[in-house]
Structure 1
Amino acid sequence: MAGLRRKWRPSLGFVLGGGLVGTLVLSLLGLIALRYLGPEIGFRNAAGLLAVLIGCATAVLGYLMVRLLLRPISALAAYSGAVELGHPAEPPDHFGTQELSRLAGSVLSMADTLQRREASIRVFSDHVTHELKTPVTAIRAAGELLAEGNALTDQDCMLLQQILGASDQMQTQLGTLNSVAKARVPEHHGAATLNNLTDEMRASCPKLDLIIEGGDQTLPLAASGLRIVVRQLLDNAHRHGAGQVALIAKPGRLVIQDDGPGISDGNRDRVFNPFFTTAREEGGTGMGLTIVANLLSAHGGHIALIPSDTGACFEIVFPMG
């Protein structure tokens, strides 16, 4: 790309101004030529000849416009779209004008920076979970070994159970940390409907009465991603005592309403914070909503807790178009 940057490129103003001037000059030359050629070879012949010449000159201007403007813009748009979808793509090798060259350089640099940041997050999370799993497993094994002995007092047994419970919780949190990092990677582009997941949702949450409205409404998220989102929200509702959940799909929106105790005003601003949960005794990790928010954000969507008369109500807004 450094070699391309050393090439001379016209400015955008020069290209546009040249195109306008060229159009004006062709028109004037056509009138002048028709004025003098008409009496010599006939106005009909002169008009036909000028039409051919002006058509050829216009084709040359059009080719320059395509090469200097349309081609680099289309290539840059295709590259950006491929990066957004997480597909491998070669960066464009033609940048047209000076302004487009600077724009392309900025976009390529931004894409490279974002990819490196996402990779660093994945590597860091993988490294942390890998390094911590060994000591956590060792603590768990030591606790189980101690539990097999018969010389422990009741107080020692209580302390041992706390140690084993803490090790289990750490294992769960490490697995959830990996899930959060994976949720940031855009791998679920596509479309799906709630009807695609209805049987699966009812089987995985048999204790919840599911009410589905707009089940045939297409949502701009692949079934794999929609499955993760819905499962996390249904599990969240079940852990907090809900018995019925309504899933309402509309164009570009998905509303999930449960009949549970709801979320207190003091906790409403913290529900999307990592590791925040009010159901830790029931096995909650406080990362379910964080996973949902990260996954939706990676695909241009957004989730919010909206006011509701009963229970908790979450609204997911998907990007349109």
Structure 2
Amino acid sequence: MGRSLRSKVRRVYAGVLALVLGLVVAQYAALSTIETRLQQGDVVAELLQDSLEMRRFEKKFYSSREQGDVAAARDHAEAALDRVRENEVALARHASPGELEALQASLERYRTGLGEYAGLAGEQREQRVESIRNAGGEASLLTKVLSQRERENLRRGIQVSRTGLLVGTGIVLVLVLLGGGWLARRILAPLRSIEDQLWSIAAGNRNRMTAPTRDRELVSFARAFNGMLDELDARQGDLRRSERLAALGVLVSGVAHELNNPLGNISTALQLVSEEGPHGDVRLVEEWLQQAEGETARAQNIVRGLLLYSRQQPHAPRREECRPLKAILEGTLDLVRATLPVDRITIRVDPGVQVSVDPERLQQVFVNLLRNAFEAGGEDVEVRIQVQRGRLEDLHPGPGGHVVGDLVHHGADSTPAVRISVDDDGPGISDEALDHVFEPFYRGREEGGGSGLGLFLAQEIVQDHGGAIGVSRCPLGGTRFQVWLPCECGGRS
């Protein structure tokens, strides 16, 4: 199994942390460099101050002739000379080759000249003054040059640090965006895939969830969710069996009553044959025997239909050869004849319309629809069953209804199809119930009006056949259920 989502998040987090730390370290180094240059700037500034002070006291001496001014000028010269010697490495960063040696030499001449000035007289003193001035001017000029270069280097260093900060921040942002994109592809995209699969399953897709990646969390989630779906399917199967047994109980009582008629007719026909005796009218005997045989076949069909109806069916429908839809619908009436007023049910279907379906399961759909119509509207309700065959584009439902099934929502308009409409003139259906009638355990009627599984099972059977089922209000009142089935069988349309 691949890495987990947690490890991916940790890697991205560690990468961002490393980038931020790298940026901090780089800026710390840049600030340390600036701090060093500021310290060097202090040395240059103090050196410049010493050179200015020694020249000031020198000029003051020329006007006042006080020996204290000479001593002060000499002290500042010695301080400047000591500063150059102590910070020679730092000052060399701002000096051209030979400039520091020249500065030291000029300061040496300046200090020596001031020291010898008091012992000279006349022309020698004048020559020494000129020498002192030249040495002092040269020292002051070199010191000013160093100060300007130091400021320029400091300004350049600040610009470099600022540019480095901007570039470093930009690199960090780009890498964070790239990391975020990578994280989105590795985490958000799989989560969106899972979300799409969940919506598809919620819409009725029976496919199992597949993990979009091999991350442990997603694989475990997909397995757990699929396990839940398997458990729901198993529970749903139990509910189907329960609903089938409930419907079977109703049918058994009706079938038992329905069998009395053919059995009574058989008994009467056999009694008549017995009364005729061996020398009776042969034609009448044959007629009565044929009647008994026909009633026997009728009873067999009733029992066979009951057995087929009660049989557990797989999810995939049992398809047979093309069979007349009219026979399937009339067979449905035979199943409910004893429990529902079939004289109030009208069927309009072309005998040539044929479908390839599991007839017993399709009959279960119409049994549930008819039971729903009479339970909702009462025994006085009238039910009309109409069948139309054509292209799907001509059989689409009208507005205002609720339809489930891919045949209507995603089927090609040119698909051959059959639409069976079951209309009643009962009280109709409310707007809030339209979107819920096919949900399991939903009961739009009052307590005691059914288990709430009949229409749910009906829509499952129809969708297992690749069809669709819908509900809406009839234009003239009542409720209309429509069933769409793909129809590749021939026959008149």
TM-score by length of 1: 0.43
